[in-house]
């Protein structure tokens, strides 16, 4: 985080010498080789029931937030979609994660360290 802030400060404090369009500034980089990001947000597309396995695997690892596009499976087979969502929900419960629909075509699943905000519901905080 400190390196990121130093890069940002350096970028804004000196005049731009590159040919990038005005108003655009590169503010971050992907982790260097050997470095791992602490938390990843990863998109998935569920075209058939078997696609749920990869989503479940990354959630069990505990460092990935999954954004799952369910539209292809929804258009193809609602019974298989229901099976996949049930399996995803049970896995989220088992790992003390959270799951919620995001619009009509997306499901968001998070591991134990995150909670999904739901409008109209009181927020609970737990101190460990």
Decide if 1 is inside a domain. Answer: no
Tokens of 48: 């058939």
DSSP at 64: E
- Provide the CATH number for the domain around residue 54: 3.30.110.150
The structural domain count of the chain equals: 1
Beta pairing partners, 109: 66, 99
Which of 60-69, 76-85, 97-106, 119-128 is the least confident region? 119-128
Beta pairing partners, 45: 69
Q: Assign 119 a pLDDT band (cuts: 50, 70, 90).
A: confident
pLDDT surpassing 50 at residue 127: no
Three-class DSSP category at 70: coil
pLDDT surpassing 80 at residue 2: no
Q: Is the torsion defined by CA of 26, 64, 97, 103 positive or negative?
A: positive
Give the pLDDT of residue 126.
46
Decide if 82 is inside a domain. Answer: yes
Which of 2-16, 53-67, 71-85, 90-104 is the least confident region? 2-16
**Which structural domain range is residue 62 located in?**
38-115
CB atoms within 10 A of CB 69: 17
Distance of alpha carbon 63 from alpha carbon 2, whole angstroms: 21
Decide if 42 is inside a domain. Answer: yes
Contact in structure between 27 and 1 (CB atoms under 8 Å): no
Decide if 64 is inside a domain. Answer: yes
pLDDT surpassing 60 at residue 62: yes
Instruction: Work out the mean pLDDT of the chain and round it to a whole number.
Output: 81
Contact in structure between 97 and 110 (CB atoms under 8 Å): yes
Q: Assign 77 a pLDDT band (cuts: 50, 70, 90).
A: very high
Decide if 106 is inside a domain. Answer: yes
Three-class DSSP category at 126: coil
Decide if 122 is inside a domain. Answer: no
Decide if 29 is inside a domain. Answer: no
Structural element, H or E, at residue 41: strand 40-45
Q: What is the pTM of this model?
A: 0.63
């Amino acid at each position: 985080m400190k390196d990121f802030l130093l890069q940002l400060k350096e970028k804004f404090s000196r005049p731009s010498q590159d040919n990038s369009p005005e108003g655009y500034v590169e503010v971050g980089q992907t982790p260097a080789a050997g470095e791992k990001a602490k938390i990843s947000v990863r998109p998935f597309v569920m075209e058939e029931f078997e696609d749920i396995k990869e989503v479940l695997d990354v959630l069990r690892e505990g460092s990935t937030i999954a954004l799952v596009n369910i539209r292809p499976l929804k258009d193809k087979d609602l019974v298989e979609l229901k099976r996949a969502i049930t399996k995803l929900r049970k896995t989220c419960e088992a790992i003390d994660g959270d799951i919620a629909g995001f619009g009509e075509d997306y499901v968001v699943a998070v591991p134990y360290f995150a909670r999904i905000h739901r409008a109209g519901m009181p927020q609970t905080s737990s101190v460990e």
